[in-house]
Amino acid sequence: MLNGLHAKILLCNFWEKFIAMKLFSDLTIKFEQANWAKNPEFGLMDTILDQHPDLLDIISSDIAENNKNTGFGRGDVPSVEQIMRAAIYKELKGLDYRELEYHQEDSRICCLFLKIDELRPYSFQMYQKYISRISEESLQKLLVELNKIAINEGLEDLKKIRQDSTVVESNIHHPTNNSLVWDCIKTSHNLLEKLSSELPELNYRNYFKSAKRTYFKINNTKSKDKTKQLFKNQLITFTKTINNLSNAVKKKSACSINAYALILEIEAFIPMCKKVYSQTERFQIYDEKVPNSEKVFSIYEPHTDIIVKGSRDVKFGHKVDFTGGKSNLILDCDILKGNVSDSKLYQPAIERIEKNYGKTPKSTSTDGGYASKANSEFAQKKGVENIVFNKIVGSLKNIASSLNMETRLKKWRSGMEAVISNLKRGFNLRMVNWKGFEHFKSKVLWSVIAYNIRVMTGHILADLK
C-alpha cells in the first residue's frame, strides 16, 4: 500500500517537473527566433496561451454575449484568442485602441502575436467593442489562473503576503459646485440643440451664454455675499434649464427614432441635474454641510468616490486594495466602492487568497492602517504564524517567531509601495479614462494582468539564464 502511494507521489512530482520543463523548452525554442528574443513577454504569453487553451474559456461567454450578425461590414470578426491577445498586447505596450490598430500594420511582432493577416487588420472599433465586453468577474478569474500557472512553475510559493491600498483616479476635472452646475447647463444645451435638429417644432430658451458668464464671475469673486448672490442667479438659470429638459420629454410621442433616443437620454439626465441642484443649494445658499454619500462629484463619471488617505490630498476615484507575494506578483486585487477603512480589507483578502489558491500564507505584513485586534485574532485562527503590522497602537502586539523575522517582514512590506508605483507609472494606472464603473474595474484588472505577465517574464528569463 505504501509502495503504491509512494509511486503515485513520484509520478505526480515527475509530471509537474515535465510540465515545467515543457514550458521552459518551448520558451527556449521561441527565444531562438529574433522576433520573440526581442519581445520575451509576448513569447511567454504566446507559450502560455498555446499550452493553456482553457484560459480562453474564461472570457468566451462575455465576448459571445449579444453577438448579432447585422449583415453589414466584413463578414469575419476576431476570434476569442485574438481578442485576448490584442488586449494583452495593448496593455503591455501601453497603447490606446487607435494605436493598437496602427501597430497591426507597423509591427511584425504584433501580427505574429495576434495571429492576424497583415493585409486585413481589424479596426480599433472592433477591438474596443469586444474587449470592453469582458467583465470584471472574468478578469478576476483570469488573474487567478495566470497566478496558478506561476505557482505551478515555482515562481510563487504563497508562504508570505503583503497588502496595501492606493487610490486610482477617475478621469474628471476637480469638482466644485460651480463647475458641476455649469457642466449640467452645458450638457443640457448640447442635448436640446441635438434634439431641435430632429424636432424643428421644439421651442426652448437658450441660457448658455448667461450661465457661462455667471460661471466665470463666481470663479473670480472672493466676497462670500457676492458669491452667494451669483449662485442664486445661477440656480434660477439652472431651474429654467431643467424646465426646458422637462418640456422636451413631453415630446416623446410621435417622433422619429433618433429623436426618441435623445429624449430618453434627456429623461435619464434630469435626475442628475436635480441632485446637483440640491447639493449646490444646500451648501452655497443655506450653508448646510452635505454628506459625501449624497454628493455628485462628476456628471460624466457619477460612480466617482472622494477618498482621503490620512492627512494627504483629497483624490477622486476609487480605492484599490492589492495583495502581493514573495515573487512581486499581485495575487489579489479588490476595487472598492466608497472610502472603506483599510482595517476592514484585511480579513476578506486572506479569505480570497485561501479560496482562490487553496492555501493559507504563513506570514502576513501590512501597514498600520490594517492593524486591529480582530484582524490579528482572525489571522491566528486561520493558521497564520507571523502577523506583522508596520505600526501598532494600544495593547495590540505583532506576532512573529523572532524579532529578526518581525523586522524582515516590516522591511519587506515597504516593497509593496514600489509595486504600486510600478503599476501606476508603467501601466497607466494613475488615472483610468475608461467610462463607467464596470469599465473602470476592467481597466485596473487588465493593468494588473499585464504587470503580472512582466513579473513572470522576468523570473523565467532569470531561470533560463
- 68-83 tens-digit pLDDT: 555 555 556 889 999 9
What are 159's three cell numbers?
508562504
Bigger pLDDT: 453 vs 1: 453
- The reply to whether 158 and 214 lie within a common domain is no
- The reply to whether 209 and 268 lie within a common domain is yes
- The reply to whether 309 and 287 lie within a common domain is no
Sign of the torsion formed by the C-alpha atoms of 18, 22, 24 and 25: positive
> So what's the pLDDT on residue 37?
76
Sign of the torsion formed by the C-alpha atoms of 40, 43, 44 and 45: positive
Ordered DSSP codes for 175-236: P-HHHHHHHHHHHHHHHHHHHHHH-TT------HHHHHHHHHHHHT---HHHHHHHHHHHHH
> So what's the pLDDT on residue 43?
87
Q: At which residue does the C-alpha cell 514600489 appear?
A: 418
**Maximum mean pLDDT: which of 101-110, 194-203, 347-356:** 347-356
Angle at 206 between CA 204 and CA 210, to 5 degrees: 150
456 belongs to a structural domain: no
**Closest alpha carbon to 292 in 304, 274, 309, 301:** 304
444 belongs to a structural domain: no
Average pLDDT over residues 420-445: 94
Amino acid at 241: T
Whether 422 has a pLDDT exceeding 60, the answer reads yes
Instruction: Label residue 16 by pLDDT band (50, 70, 90).
Output: very low
> So what's the pLDDT on residue 171?
94
Average pLDDT over residues 127-139: 94
453 belongs to a structural domain: no
> So what's the pLDDT on residue 18?
42
Whether 1 has a pLDDT exceeding 50, the answer reads no
> So what's the pLDDT on residue 2?
38
**Closest alpha carbon to 214 in 175, 173, 177, 172:** 177
Average pLDDT over residues 391-402: 87
Ordered DSSP codes for 329-384: -EEEEEE-SS---GGGTHHHHHHHHHHHHS---SEEEE-GGG--HHHHHHHHHHT-
Percent of the chain past pLDDT 70, that is, above it, reads 89
Contacts of 205 (CB under 8 A, 6+ apart): 240, 244
84 belongs to a structural domain: yes
Average pLDDT over residues 111-131: 88
Whether 21 has a pLDDT exceeding 60, the answer reads no
How far are the Cα atoms of 82, 313, 368 from residue 391, in angstroms, in the given order?
Answer: 47, 22, 4
- The reply to whether 165 and 283 lie within a common domain is no
Domain stop point among 265, 294, 323: 294
Helices (H) and strands (E) in the chain, counts: 18, 7
Sign of the torsion formed by the C-alpha atoms of 175, 181, 184 and 185: negative
- The reply to whether 123 and 146 lie within a common domain is no
- The reply to whether 287 and 385 lie within a common domain is no
451 belongs to a structural domain: no
- The reply to whether 279 and 201 lie within a common domain is yes
Instruction: Label residue 66 by pLDDT band (50, 70, 90).
Output: low
Backbone angles phi, psi at 163, to 5 degrees: -135, 140
Q: Reduced to 3 states, what is the DSSP secondary structure of residue 115?
A: coil
> So what's the pLDDT on residue 443?
96
Percent of the chain past pLDDT 90, that is, above it, reads 69
- The reply to whether 259 and 363 lie within a common domain is no
- The reply to whether 287 and 319 lie within a common domain is no
The domain in which residue 193 lies consists of 177-294
Whether 203 has a pLDDT exceeding 60, the answer reads yes
> So what's the pLDDT on residue 75?
56
Instruction: Label residue 96 by pLDDT band (50, 70, 90).
Output: very high
Tell me the average pLDDT of the chain. Answer: 88
Domain count, the chain: 3
- The reply to whether 142 and 225 lie within a common domain is no
239 belongs to a structural domain: yes
Average pLDDT over residues 278-293: 93
Q: Reduced to 3 states, what is the DSSP secondary structure of residue 161?
A: strand
Bigger pLDDT: 17 vs 115: 115
**Closest alpha carbon to 413 in 390, 442, 446, 445:** 390
Please state the pTM of the whole predicted model: 0.89
316 belongs to a structural domain: yes
> So what's the pLDDT on residue 32?
63
- The reply to whether 162 and 181 lie within a common domain is no
> So what's the pLDDT on residue 393?
78
Domain stop point among 294, 326, 356: 294
Whether 8 has a pLDDT exceeding 50, the answer reads no
Instruction: Label residue 11 by pLDDT band (50, 70, 90).
Output: very low
CATH number, domain of 409, equals: 3.30.420
Q: Judging by DSSP bridges, how do beta strands 314-325 and 330-335 pair with one another? A: antiparallel
pLDDT tens per residue across span 348-369: 999 999 999 999 999 999 998 9
Average pLDDT over residues 24-44: 73
- The reply to whether 126 and 6 lie within a common domain is yes
Whether 129 has a pLDDT exceeding 80, the answer reads yes
Instruction: Label residue 254 by pLDDT band (50, 70, 90).
Output: low
Whether 23 has a pLDDT exceeding 80, the answer reads no
283 belongs to a structural domain: yes
What are 282's three cell numbers?
444646500
> So what's the pLDDT on residue 7?
45
Bigger pLDDT: 253 vs 380: 380
